[in-house]
Chain A
Amino acid sequence: MSQIRYTKEHEYVRVEGGEGVVGITEYAQQQLGDVVFAEAPPIGKALKRGDPAAVVESVKAASDVFAPVAGEVVAVNSEVESTPGLINEDALGRGWLFRIKLADPAELGALMDESAYADYLKTLG
């Protein structure tokens, strides 16, 4: 049973076992526009919560993707590196960016769940 959590910077982390799959949300990909480039962190990198981890670029903007929780990078999505448009088509699915082994699952408690994130989006107008 996986749970999904969201940050204010529009990253998500989908927790599966002791690992988290990280990407940017549907809202973020809409704001960015067509994604032209994505760069994941190197495998093995140790991230703290809030560290800049990946970069997603559209034609007119470049966005840092921050680690929603601490962990070690165990996998990256090479499909997204060759077909960055996947992030627009399927941000929560095939458009995932990297997978981390969670250092401290308790950190998830500080993030928003599905309905809290939906409420948050409403405040952004």
Chain B
Amino acid sequence: MRYLPLDASDREAMLARIGVPDISALFADIPADKRIEGLLDMPLAKSEMAVEREMAAIAGRSLAAGSVPFFLGAGAYRRHIPATVDHLIQRSEFLTSYTPYQPEIAQGTLQVLFEFQTQVAALTGMEVANASMYDGSTACGEAMLMAHRLTRRGRAVISGGLHPQYADVCATLARMAGDAIVRLPPDLTASEDIAAAIDGATSCVIVQSPDFFGNPRDLAPIAAAAHAHGALVIAVFTDPVALGALRSPGEMDADIAVGEGQGIGNALSFGGPYLGLFATRARNVRQMPGRLAGETVDAAGRRSFVLTLSTREQHIRRDKATSNICTNSGLCALAFSIHLTLLGAAGLRRLANVNHANAVRLAERLAAIPGVEVVNSHFFNEFTLRTPRPAAALIEALAERGVIGGLPVSRLLPGAGLDDCIVVASTETNSEDDRAAFARALADCLG
């Protein structure tokens, strides 16, 4: 079998050295009536060619986003990823290495993490960032728990503009941890009065910008209100490229910034693996979950990098850890870092500019269709449409015409009275032809 190097004579020699007659002696601790004597009820081994054939057939049953005009975001964004990124992350030393527990032979990974942490801090306008978490939604939940530890309060206020699934994650975590949340109703036009919901029992306010409906938010007044009550502000974003065009969480006085990093360097992959970005002020670093790479020197005085402040983590603090997290999203963080290095500040600004321009052009076209309204006054690369007919059926009809037109809000917020709303995204991957096709198909469906 192509993955198993031992042959029959090897096994015989090894059993002889061990001093047992056969392999079953090494499994004797399994209770006799619980041993599987034959094989599991599944097919036998297959050749590489056979596996490829089988899996390609499965893959063929999904529509690849790049094969049609594609305008779906809502927390994951289709990006053009430079060929260099995927090539580099497949280098053996990045792909098949492990957590850098032996730093002397892991400086590649550690230096990349140090660079990544610096990039995330710069992007979010914060002072320090960790080496990544599983994804934006779990990073958001972890930020909520961190705010509870820092304020010693247990009640989070959640904006009605937070991605509904992020809010659900926070709600599940809070309930399980014995904390409370105040969840404001879905806020289509960024007009909620968050400050009014904050009081002396509030641990944190969780606000997304640009929000789920595409509205950029000014967090500074919310931060002022929160801080006046001793509460923290957690700023959330779902497309990191937005920070190439919009004011950063740090500039708006947020205490913790969390977000989804998939939009830089990582494919859509039906929802995972992604990476959570997590940044905060230097004074909060001891309560920050996740891995941290730090700078030091080795015995010969050379600059080196090492995992540090590990005493926050599960393998040391055990039941007093800041979190139970063990892995970071290593390879995804590497892909993010490589792509962002290739972009640089100038490239990031240009990329953000193209995203915004495409969204503006799309909004103009769609708003021109009779009965269709673009709800947002301001947006970055995502906005909400109001349609004269139920959005879910429209999206299906568009799909039949070969256009993926966005997310019907009712899919994530059933029963919220937003059945006529679609969240539409436009990235640099959309062409003028794509926009024309979308407008034509939508007009067709409504006509």
**A and B touch in their complex, CB below 8 angstroms:** yes
A interface residues with partner B (beta carbon < 8 Å) = 36-37, 57-62
Give bound CA distance, A58 to B310, whole Å.
Answer: 9
A57-B311, A59-B308, A61-B311 given; 14 more Cβ-contact pairs under 8 Å: A36-B311, A37-B286, A37-B311, A58-B311, A59-B310, A59-B311, A60-B310, A60-B311, A60-B316, A61-B316, A62-B311, A62-B316, A62-B317, A62-B320
Chain A-chain B contacts (Cβ-Cβ < 8 Å), number = 17
Give bound CA distance, A59 to B308, whole Å.
Answer: 8
The 10 closest A-B pairs by CB, nearest first: A57-B311, A62-B311, A62-B317, A62-B316, A61-B316, A60-B316, A37-B311, A59-B310, A61-B311, A62-B320
Which residues of A lie under 8 Å from residue B311 when comparing CB positions?
36-37, 57-62
Which residues of A lie under 8 Å from residue B286 when comparing CB positions?
37
Give bound CA distance, A57 to B316, whole Å.
Answer: 10
Interface string of B304-334 (1 = CB under 8 A from A): 0000101100001100100000000000000
Which residues of A lie under 8 Å from residue B316 when comparing CB positions?
60-62
Look across to chain B and name the residue whose beta carbon is closest to the beta carbon of A61. B316
B99 to chain A, nearest CB (A): 15
Which residues of A lie under 8 Å from residue B308 when comparing CB positions?
59
Which residues of B lie under 8 Å from residue A60 when comparing CB positions?
310-311, 316
A83 to chain B, nearest CB (A): 17
Interface string of B421-445 (1 = CB under 8 A from A): 0000000000000000000000000
> B356-374: which residues lie under 8 A (CB-CB) from chain A?
none
B4 to chain A, nearest CB (A): 37
Which residues of B lie under 8 Å from residue A61 when comparing CB positions?
311, 316
Query: 8 A–B contact pairs at CB < 8 A?
Result: A57-B311, A58-B311, A59-B308, A59-B310, A59-B311, A60-B310, A61-B311, A61-B316
Interface string of B292-314 (1 = CB under 8 A from A): 00000000000000001011000
Look across to chain A and name the residue whose beta carbon is closest to the beta carbon of B286. A37
Residue of A37, A61, A62 with highest tally of chain B CB at under 10 A: A62
Give bound CA distance, A51 to B168, whole Å.
Answer: 37
Give bound CA distance, A61 to B286, whole Å.
Answer: 15
A46 to chain B, nearest CB (A): 17
Look across to chain A and name the residue whose beta carbon is closest to the beta carbon of B316. A62
Give bound CA distance, A37 to B286, whole Å.
Answer: 10
Residue of A36, A37, A57, A61 with highest tally of chain B CB at under 10 A: A57
> B263-310: which residues lie under 8 A (CB-CB) from chain A?
286, 308, 310
B256 to chain A, nearest CB (A): 21
Look across to chain A and name the residue whose beta carbon is closest to the beta carbon of B317. A62
Give bound CA distance, A60 to B317, whole Å.
Answer: 10
Which residues of A lie under 8 Å from residue B310 when comparing CB positions?
59-60
Residue of B308, B311, B316, B320 with highest tally of chain A CB at under 10 A: B311
Give bound CA distance, A62 to B311, whole Å.
Answer: 6
Which residues of B lie under 8 Å from residue A37 when comparing CB positions?
286, 311
B282 to chain A, nearest CB (A): 15
A41 to chain B, nearest CB (A): 14
Which residues of B lie under 8 Å from residue A59 when comparing CB positions?
308, 310-311
Give bound CA distance, A36 to B309, whole Å.
Answer: 9
Give bound CA distance, A60 to B310, whole Å.
Answer: 7
B349 to chain A, nearest CB (A): 40
Give bound CA distance, A58 to B248, whole Å.
Answer: 35
Give bound CA distance, A57 to B286, whole Å.
Answer: 12
Give bound CA distance, A62 to B286, whole Å.
Answer: 13
A32 to chain B, nearest CB (A): 11
Give bound CA distance, A121 to B101, whole Å.
Answer: 33
Give bound CA distance, A61 to B310, whole Å.
Answer: 9
Give bound CA distance, A36 to B317, whole Å.
Answer: 15
Look across to chain A and name the residue whose beta carbon is closest to the beta carbon of B321. A62
Which residues of B lie under 8 Å from residue A62 when comparing CB positions?
311, 316-317, 320
Give bound CA distance, A58 to B311, whole Å.
Answer: 8
Give bound CA distance, A36 to B306, whole Å.
Answer: 15
